[in-house]
Structures are given as structure tokens and as C-alpha cells.
Structure 1
Amino acid sequence: MAASLALLILRHGAPLGLPLAQITMEMGAFIEQPVSDAADFLESIGPALASRRRLIRTNRALRDEIFRLRAQLLTERPLVFQNRRLKALLGRIRAIHQSFRLVRVLRIDLDPYRQEVVIGAGQKAGLARGDAVIDAHGLVGQVGTVSAHLSRVLLITDPSEMVPVEVAATGLLTFSVGSGIPTRLRLPYLPNDTRVRVGQLLISSGLGGHYAYGFPVAVVTHVILRPNRSFARVDARPLAAISEDRELLVLVRHPSPRPKPLRKPAVGQTQNGHAR
């Protein structure tokens, strides 16, 4: 820009007869002012730029910290759920007045024709066929096949499993039958004039000896009267969290006998207690 003004002056002469020195001085002032203004502007925005860089660094650090905390939460969440399950089981244990074993679920099989779980305990832990199995919420099933260190638990929702139950509100006795669906039990032996109502609690009646009296089993969800048939259609939802259980309680009917401590014979007696 300054070079262009100088060429115009040299070609056409100084405007209005002003001396060349004065014109040069005024041109210098004209050029110096924008440069000074630019310098002042850069100096004024310097702290703002530094502050922006600090904000960017802080933002990145916070984003990294949020990512770390989220990852930590994901790793700790299963422990929180496990702690809740174990606390609920502890509450159930305190209400039991017989021998039991806390066992871990190794596998769940919810096939419509065969519903069972495999647990990590067997004969070595004192388990036997027919032992009742519960969780923190209610009845789960009974021990089926047993090996030395593993057992299969037949669930109450298995189509072949029948559980003697009682309607807690009325004392009515009946049976629940597995439907092959983890969230449904059938009560197929209730007549059309049944007084069973939706929302009523079903507990184990203790008949048959497999299940002790009073364990929560299910809650009635559907009652459909069918006058053209002999029995009403009544469904119930199991209270046990069958598909979510990771630990179970096995109620051991015949706990393994503890070995009797050996006693040293008294002086003057043999091992069988007879005097020498």
C-alpha cells in the first residue's frame, strides 16, 4: 500500500503543492497507526488465547476422567448387583431352621421341554436327590441328578414338575404345574367356581414331603372361568428370579454326619472301653 502511494506521488507530483517530506511523514503516520492498532489487538487477545488453550486442556482432562469413571462403574456394577443378591439370600437364610448349602449356579437351561440349572455342589457337599432349592424370593425347584461335585436342579417351571401349593389367603390346596416358560405356572385343577383371585400369593403346602411348608411359590396373574369346561384357566408368575439367579440355597434334608472325635482311652482301659 505504501509503495503504491509513493509511485503515485512520484508520477503526478505532490498534491496541493505540499512538500514531499511532509507527505512522507504523513504517509508514515498513516501506515504506523494500523500496525500499532494490530499490535495492540494481538496483545489484548493474548491472555484470551492462553485462557482458551487452558480451557481446551482442562476439557480434555475432564473428558478422560469421565471415561475412566464410566469404565470403573461398568466393572463395579456387577459387584453391586452381587452384593444385593447375597444380602437378600442372607435375609432368607435367617428365616430357615434347617441345614442348607449356599451353591453357585454354573449353567441355566430354559428349554421349553426341560428347565433346569446346574449347580456347583453335589454328594461331597451333602446334597441328595429331592432336596428343595430356593433363592431370595421363593421356591426354585428340587435337586434331580447328583454327582460328586455337581447337581442338576429341576425347576418348578419344568413341564414335568408339580408342586403342592396353598392359596395363602384362603388355605385352598391345589397343585402348580410347570408350563415350560420361566415366567408362568399353571394351576390346572381349579374348578370353574373357584374363588382364587388375581394377586393372591401361593405358598408351598408341604404335602408330599419334597417341599417344606410356607415357602413363597408364585402370585396368581390370570383367572379365566370356562363354563363349557371342567376347570378354570388359572396362571401364576413364579416369585423366584430363575433366569437371573447366580447363587441358590439347597435345603439339605440329610446333612453329612460329622465324624466323631476320637477319644483317648482312660488309663487302665483298652480302645473299646473294657478294663484291662
Structure 2
Amino acid sequence: MDFVKDLDNRLLFAIPKKGRLYEQCLQLLNGSDIHFNRRSRQDIALSTNLPVALIFLPAADIPKYVAEGNVDLGISGQDMIVENEVEDKINQVMELGIGACRLCLQVPMQSGFKSLEELAGKRIVTSFDGFAKKVFEPIDKKLGTKTVINYVSGSVEAACALGLADGIIDLVESGETMRAAGLHDIHTLLKTQFVLMANKNSKHQSLIEKLTSRIRGVITADKYVLCTYNVERSNLPKAVKITPGRQGPTVSTLDSHEGWVAVSAMIEKKQKGEIMDKLTEVGATDILVMAFTNCRV
């Protein structure tokens, strides 16, 4: 197949090519009704229902392709955007709520280091060497030190134990890997998550807007559920305070029960148990919670 020819007039959408975040991105694509078949080890897949080509790339490279190449849309971490120094060259269209973690300065628990300044002039190992240099340059200038920043592509947390570093800069999610390596974090440099980003010069703006709307619908559907219940009209003000909805609840009269109304409202999925309890306390009955598969808000 002549992929170069097949890419003509298609929106190019870069997706992380492997790992847990790859799987989560596939769920977003599936929920957004983007149909495609990816052949084994193939880094390009053509959508069968939209003029879109999916390009599977290392997450660290995606911001540069979106900022400086022909890629129209991409999904990668905010930390990768900063490391590639392309914050001003792309549009961060939407935070996706996946891959949330912190980029932290970490040191051995017994080191005694407690601040960034105490690591000035020491050895730092990281895979975010560009960002690390920007962090320590003004500190070195102020203190007259010269911090050594060394790049490694993986197993950063082992650098201190192996004698390569006095501290590391690495991502922390749960902190389990950090603690297992005998480290603790003393400074959060950046909070990051995966975002949908767009090429500022893309010629596919209308399609970008359509895909953005679809992806936002998938994320919203995963975050919210629909809560419906019946309540006496006299208790409606109390009930509405519990379920205000995104823009207000839908209220309709119950013809078969004089003085009662039926209410529908979107509520956060993670709060559904507490909300149902509170509705019961104000006299609501027939409380139902239903999941969305997709939505537009």
C-alpha cells in the first residue's frame, strides 16, 4: 500500500504507540467512533469512516511532530510539550484526565537534601534534561554553581543507588517505584497529564473541531451519569441543591401523582452513592442512575 499517497487530504492524528496510555487512547478513539484496523507492527492506520490517518509514535516525539511537522492532532503529556520546548507552537485543545502525574526532584531518603538549591552544583540524572537545565540555570547563576545534568532514557530511579547521581528528576504517579528505590521527592517541578494538542497551521480545522467534540463527549460520558428520581414539589428546592446538573436539572410534572415531579440531572459518577443517600433523606423516591456511552455537552 502506498501510504504516502493515501495520507493525502487526511487529517494526521498522532497516538502513543505502546504502553498503558496507548490502550487508554484506543478507548478514546473507539468511543469517538473512529474506525480503523492497525496491522501488527504497522505505525500508520487509515480510518475507514473518516478522512483521518492515525500515526503511532513514541509519546515523547509527538509534540514536536505536531508543532513542526504535518501532524494535525496528537495526544501526549504536558511534560513532553515542555521538554520539547513547543508550548508556544501548538494549541493545547483539551486535558484528557489520563496519565496524571508529577515531575519531581527526588533524592535518597538518607541524603538530607531538602530543596532545589541544595542540589545546585551536584549531579542530576533525568530523561528530561532540557527541562532540568532550564530549572537549574538560574539557580546556578544566582549561587555561582555548575549543576551537572546527565541524560538517561530509562531506569532513572536507579541512578543514585548506582553512584551516578545525587538526585534525579522523574515522573511520579503513585510513588511506589520511587520509594522502592529508596528515594523521596522534595520538590514538584510540574504537574502533568495527557492532552489533546493541535497544529496551529492545520488545514483541517473543521475536522479537528468535530473530533475534539467527540473526544470531549467520551470523557464527559465517563465522568458523569444520569440521575433520575421522583420528589414532592415542596421538596424540589432541597433536591435541586443536591443535583444542580451541568446547566440545571430537567423537571417534569407527574400526572399520576399530584404534587410530585420527576427530575433528571447529570451528576459526577464518583459522587453517585453520596448523592443518592442525600436524595433519599429529602424524600426522593425511584432514584435511578444510568451510565452514558457518549454525549455532547
* TM-score of the pair, normalised by structure 1: 0.24
RCO higher in 1 or 2 (8 Å CA, sep ≥ 6)?
2
Q: Which has the higher strand share?
A: 2
* TM-score of the pair, normalised by structure 2: 0.23
